[in-house]
């Protein structure tokens, strides 16, 4: 233990000097400090060289949640308290041991739009729909000692983390250590842009961490990304991040740690770094880390952190070798070079964030996705833009692209242009500060004249809370089976995620979102085609409207002030009057009722026994890049879906069905939503798109009904899939739903990191085909699975044999699986601790 004096105070810390090799990557230095402080295995890090493998146990300094994942997390903790009471034990034994922060930002829906009172109407509907859930969150805040809740309307969790909550360096009773933040949203990595190591984990893993369990993982490979050059004039941080996403997804960084460096780093401000780090899940890495340097300190001061805190961050970073020193050459397992000079204006889509297309080639790429036939002039048709949303944490954290959007809107209005009438336009920033500086710059009226009125502060269109299309547009799309598009400044564009009636979804910078709203169609070349005609009869092109970099910088310099941040976050945990009026339940345990939002979870009652499977059937046979949105949708619950009909039978009106995300506290709804994406392509469904599959009798039915029929017949069920199974959000319901309807194993060619962990946490066995194998396993015939002692399993089907790796990657995961999942394991540990406590008191 060493000491560090900052100002007039002395601190202690676990020094890495003389322990960590000088060339050790900074992410691994943070993990080494964590291992030393918690007295876990640090040997593999002390001797690290590229290619070294080993197991790590990571203890986060805090856990970060949002409401749609936070509600089921608290429901599970409440159920664990019930289980302790049932055994005559103290329910207070189930209580977080580390700080947990929850931001209510995923419940607001863009129902109202294009009007001055849109936000007020949407917030009122948010409280009307979600009052039960919000009262439950307030119960949790009152009951669990280390849980803090940021009420609705403050912004998106990751932007709040970046601008206010992140510590960078933690201090507890005079002990300093890195802020290591694990969150239940995959975009927790956004805080990597501030020099904080953190990544997304599943909700069940978060619960275990909150209750004192370490997160077990194999030592990731570390990829060093060297940034050179500078962004060309006319490009944005969004264009840069789409380029990085494409490059790193192509290189292959799934499950790896990415560290950024290189000569371009010094000129890259924290908002740009955060924009890149936010997209870490899109290129597949565990984290996308930027080191602490002067830019970090400037940002901390600018966003209202006390100077004494900023001095502490600098002193600790320098003492621990976490400060960016270009003269120190770090070593990595792999290297990637990215030249910023090569970045061009881009969009990404229509189904994956890594599908980058330069703006110059965008029209041809879009036309290739459209059915034969051109769009109808003057009305929505194939290729029409029906949703244009400036939304999400990714880009709304970045003043440069938000000011660029405001200036482009001003220029368009002054030339007499308007958004097309069939486009649903929304503005939902991640921070209240955004509207402050846009307002101070006088840009808000121009955005509103184009229909981009404030719709709410929260994760809206990007998560699928986009609301219905304009009525007449939605009717036309459905009646004519039109292939229409959404364009959004978000990070996710998976099928069926953004809006059920929209087949094509494109990611773009905020100013390009406005440009496409003006055009009203995606099949346009924005570099050569006119956006409209002004009052003088002259053609108006994008180049005529695009703001100069000097103008953007001038607006930021004049309007963005530290006091905006201190004002926005002065009392961020208090909430508005509606929040304070909520009548929260009391008591150490929660009184479950007949709510359609909250039901006692069953995970402690029906853990499946692990072991061999005989005569199993494939519930679904899926292809490559199946996302967690396919496995458990987050957006609106369709009235004609299994979940929608179930809620209707309970008397819930169509207007109150809400979203799957909001119903995650009720397993009876979520089970019915498993594999419920309207764009799911199940190869067993005879060409039918959506949640359909054959039942035991071979007749096509809903996936939920088929699973229930297999359960009744005593037939085990599995999932067969291709590469990158479980991409996207760290959505534990993508594993919970399949587990509850009886899925025992997933046989895939490869898994995304978080989802594989979630499968293990729910007692579902992840089995991975050897490279190049598995395509011919159709799932149409019964499957037998034998588990070997060598870490491999053998599957038999249709006279063929397949050897698969059992993806239980650590001894801890083996333990979880044999307990039937994380929650039964943790509950057993709490029982044992309780018994030890009783014996010591006797």
**Which residues, 6 or more positions from 782, have their beta carbon under 8 angstroms from its beta carbon?**
615, 616, 617, 797
- Sign, CA torsion 170/175/178/180: negative
Q: Quick check: 842 pLDDT over 70?
A: no
Beta bridge partners of 685: none
The whole-number average pLDDT for the span 168-189 is 96
Q: What is the pLDDT of residue 171?
A: 96
The SS3 of residue 507 is: strand
Contact at 8 Å (CB) between 654 and 648?
yes
Q: What is the pLDDT of residue 681?
A: 95
The whole-number average pLDDT for the span 706-727 is 96
The SS3 of residue 475 is: helix
If pLDDT is split at 50, 70 and 90, which confidence band does 823 have?
confident
Q: Quick check: 421 pLDDT over 60?
A: yes
- The β-bridge relationship of strands 62-66 and 180-183 is parallel
Contact at 8 Å (CB) between 491 and 278?
yes
Instruction: Break the chain into its structural domains and give their ranges.
Output: 2-52, 59-206, 356-568, 613-809
DSSP string of 84-103, one letter each residue: HHHTT--GGGS--SS-EEEE
- Among the ranges given (21-30, 199-208, 239-248), the one the predictor scored with the smallest mean pLDDT: 199-208
- The β-bridge relationship of strands 539-540 and 169-172 is unpaired
Q: What is the pLDDT of residue 471?
A: 95
Give tens-digit pLDDT for 491-532. Answer: 988 888 899 899 999 999 999 999 999 999 999 999 999 999
Q: What is the pLDDT of residue 651?
A: 96
Strands (E), 680-775: 692-694, 700-702, 717-720, 743-748, 765-769
Q: Quick check: 376 pLDDT over 60?
A: no
The separation between CA 599 and the C-alpha centre of its own chain, rounded to angstroms, equals 25
| DSSP single-letter state for residue 485 | E
Q: Quick check: 605 pLDDT over 70?
A: no
If pLDDT is split at 50, 70 and 90, which confidence band does 181 have?
very high
The whole-number average pLDDT for the span 572-587 is 92
The residue written with tokens 């209510």 in the block is 104
Contact at 8 Å (CB) between 759 and 783?
no
Q: What is the pLDDT of residue 377?
A: 55
Q: What is the pLDDT of residue 1?
A: 87
Contact at 8 Å (CB) between 270 and 294?
no
If pLDDT is split at 50, 70 and 90, which confidence band does 603 have?
confident
Provide the 10 A C-beta neighbour count for residue 270. 24
The SS3 of residue 205 is: helix
The SS3 of residue 759 is: helix
Q: Quick check: 829 pLDDT over 90?
A: no
Distance between CA atoms of residues 473 and 480, nearest Å: 11
If pLDDT is split at 50, 70 and 90, which confidence band does 40 have?
confident
State the DSSP H helix or E strand holding residue 296, giving kind and residue range, or none if neither: helix 294-302
Distance between CA atoms of residues 298 and 673, nearest Å: 46
Q: What is the pLDDT of residue 394?
A: 86
Q: What is the pLDDT of residue 608?
A: 60
What value, to the nearest 5°, has the Cα angle with vertex 241 and ends 182 and 358?
A: 150
If pLDDT is split at 50, 70 and 90, which confidence band does 169 have?
very high
End-to-end CA distance of the chain: 37
Q: Which residue has the higher pLDDT, 745 or 608?
A: 745
If pLDDT is split at 50, 70 and 90, which confidence band does 754 have?
confident
Q: Do domains 59-206 and 356-568 have the same CATH topology?
A: yes
The residue written with tokens 């319901």 in the block is 733
Q: What percent of the chain has pLDDT over 70?
A: 98
**SS3 annotation, 96-163:** CCCCEEEECCCCCCCCCCCCCCHHHHHHHHHHHHHHHHHHHHHHHHHHCCCEEEECCCCECHHHHHHH
Give tens-digit pLDDT for 521-531. Answer: 999 999 999 99
Q: What percent of the chain has pLDDT over 90?
A: 84
Q: What is the pLDDT of residue 602?
A: 86
Q: Quick check: 375 pLDDT over 60?
A: no
Give tens-digit pLDDT for 437-456. Answer: 999 999 999 999 999 999 99
CATH topology for 356-568 is Aconitase; domain 3 (3.30.499)
Q: What is the pLDDT of residue 419?
A: 97
State the pTM of this model.
0.90
Contact at 8 Å (CB) between 132 and 597?
yes
Counted residue by residue, the chain has a size of 842
The SS3 of residue 663 is: helix
Give tens-digit pLDDT for 311-369. Answer: 999 999 999 999 999 999 999 999 999 999 999 999 999 999 999 999 999 999 999 99
Distance between CA atoms of residues 328 and 229, nearest Å: 20
Give tens-digit pLDDT for 455-487. Answer: 999 999 988 899 999 999 999 999 999 999 999
Q: What would the CATH number be for the domain defined by 59-206?
A: 3.30.499.10
Q: Quick check: 374 pLDDT over 60?
A: no
What are the distances in angstroms from CA 802 to CA 405, 474, 752, 783? 53, 46, 21, 10
Q: What is the pLDDT of residue 730?
A: 77
- The β-bridge relationship of strands 717-720 and 613-621 is parallel
- Among the ranges given (124-138, 373-387, 628-642), the one the predictor scored with the smallest mean pLDDT: 373-387
Give tens-digit pLDDT for 645-672. Answer: 999 999 999 989 999 999 999 999 999 9
CATH topology for 613-809 is Aconitase; domain 4 (3.20.19)
Contact at 8 Å (CB) between 503 and 421?
no
Mean pLDDT of the chain: 93
Q: Quick check: 612 pLDDT over 90?
A: no
| DSSP single-letter state for residue 109 | -
If pLDDT is split at 50, 70 and 90, which confidence band does 630 have?
very high
CB burial of 403-420 (b: ≥16 within 10 Å; e: otherwise) equals: bbbbbbbbbbbebebebb
- Sign, CA torsion 454/459/462/464: negative
């Amino acid at each position: 233990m060493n000491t560090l004096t900052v100002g007039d105070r002395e601190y202690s810390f676990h020094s890495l000097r003389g322990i960590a090799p000088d060339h050790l990557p900074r992410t691994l230095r943070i993990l080494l400090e964590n291992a030393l402080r918690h007295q876990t295995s640090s040997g593999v890090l002390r001797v690290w060289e590229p290619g070294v493998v080993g197991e790590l146990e990571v203890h986060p300094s805090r856990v970060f949640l949002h409401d749609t994942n936070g509600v089921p997390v608290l429901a599970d903790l409440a159920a664990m308290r019930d289980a302790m009471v049932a055994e005559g034990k103290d329910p207070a034994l189930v209580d977080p041991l580390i700080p947990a922060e929850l931001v209510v930002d995923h419940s607001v829906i863009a129902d109202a739009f294009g009007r001055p009172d849109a936000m007020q109407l949407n917030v009122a509907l948010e409280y009307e729909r979600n009052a039960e859930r919000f009262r439950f969150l307030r119960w949790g805040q009152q009951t669990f000692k280390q849980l803090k809740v940021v009420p609705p309307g403050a912004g998106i969790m990751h932007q709040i983390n970046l601008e206010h909550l992140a510590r960078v360096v933690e201090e507890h009773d005079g002990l300093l250590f890195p802020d290591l933040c694990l969150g239940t949203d995959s975009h927790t990595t956004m805080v990597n842009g501030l020099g904080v190591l953190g990544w997304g984990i599943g909700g069940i893993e978060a619960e275990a961490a909150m209750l004192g369990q370490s997160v077990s993982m194999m030592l990731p490979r570390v990829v060093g990304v060297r940034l050179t050059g500078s962004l060309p004039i006319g490009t944005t941080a969004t264009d840069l991040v789409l380029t990085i996403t494409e490059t790193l997804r192509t290189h292959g960084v799934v499950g790896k740690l990415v560290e950024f460096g290189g000569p371009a780093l010094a000129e890259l401000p924290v908002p740009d770094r955060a924009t890149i780090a936010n997209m870490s899940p899109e290129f597949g890495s565990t984290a996308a880390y930027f080191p602490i340097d002067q830019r970090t300190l400037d940002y901390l001061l600018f966003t209202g952190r006390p100077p004494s805190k900023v001095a502490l961050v600098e002193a600790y970073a320098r003492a621990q070798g976490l400060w960016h020193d270009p003269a120190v050459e770090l070593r990595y397992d792999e290297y990637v070079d990215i030249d910023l000079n090569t970045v061009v204006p881009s969009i990404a889509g229509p189904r994956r964030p890594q599908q980058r297309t330069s703006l110059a080639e965008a029209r041809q790429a879009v036309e290739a996705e459209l059915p034969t036939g051109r769009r109808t002039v003057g009305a929505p048709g194939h290729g029409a833009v029906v949703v244009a949303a400036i939304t999400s944490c990714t880009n709304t954290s970045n003043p440069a692209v938000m000011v660029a959007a405001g200036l482009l809107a001003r220029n368009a209005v002054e030339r007499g242009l308007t958004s097309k009438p069939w486009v649903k336009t929304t503005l939902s920033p991640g921070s209240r500060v955004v509207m402050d500086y846009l307002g101070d710059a006088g840009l808000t009226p121009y955005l509103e004249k184009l229909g981009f009125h404030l719709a709410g502060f929260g994760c809206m269109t990007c998560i699928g809370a986009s609301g219905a299309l304009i009525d007449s547009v939605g009717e036309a799309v459905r009646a004519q089976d039109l292939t229409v598009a959404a364009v959004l400044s978000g990070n996710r564009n998976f099928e069926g995620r953004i809006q059920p009636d929209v087949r094509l979804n494109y990611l773009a910078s905020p100013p390009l979102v406005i440009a496409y709203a003006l055009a009203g169609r995606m099949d346009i070349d924005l570099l050569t085609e006119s956006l409209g005609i002004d009052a003088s009869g002259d053609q108006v092109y994008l180049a005529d409207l695009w703001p100069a970099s000097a103008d953007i910088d001038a607006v930021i310099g004049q309007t963005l002030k530290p006091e905006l941040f201190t004002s926005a976050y002065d009392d961020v945990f208090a909430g508005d009057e509606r929040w304070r009026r909520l009548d929260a339940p009391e008591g150490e345990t929660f009184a479950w009722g007949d709510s359609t939002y909250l039901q006692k979870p069953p995970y402690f009652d029906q853990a499946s026994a692990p072991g061999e499977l005989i005569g199993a059937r494939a519930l679904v046979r899926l292809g490559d890049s199946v996302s967690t949105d396919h496995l458990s949708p987050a957006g609106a619950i369709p009235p004609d879906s299994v979940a929608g009909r179930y809620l209707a039978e309970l008397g819930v009106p169509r207007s109150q069905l809400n979203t799957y995300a909001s119903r995650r506290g009720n397993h009876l709804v979520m089970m019915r939503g498993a594999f419920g994406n309207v764009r799911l392509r199940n190869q067993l469904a005879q060409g039918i798109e959506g949640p359909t599959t054959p039942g035991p009798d071979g007749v096509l039915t809903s996936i939920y009904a088929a699973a229930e029929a297999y359960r009744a017949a005593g037939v085990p069920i599995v999932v067969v899939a291709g590469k990158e199974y479980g991409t996207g959000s760290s959505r534990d319901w993508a594993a919970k739903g399949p587990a509850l309807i009886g899925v025992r194993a997933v046989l895939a060619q490869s898994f995304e990191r978080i989802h594989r962990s979630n499968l293990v946490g729910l007692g579902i066995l992840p089995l991975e085909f050897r490279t190049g194998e598995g395509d011919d396993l159709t799932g149409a015939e019964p499957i037998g699975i034998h588990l070997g002692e060598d870490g491999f399993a053998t599957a038999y089907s249709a006279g063929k044999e397949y050897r698969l790796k059992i993806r239980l990657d650590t001894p801890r995961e083996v333990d979880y699986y044999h307990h039937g999942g994380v929650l039964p394991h943790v509950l057993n540990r709490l029982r044992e601790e309780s018994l030890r406590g009783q014996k010591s008191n006797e």
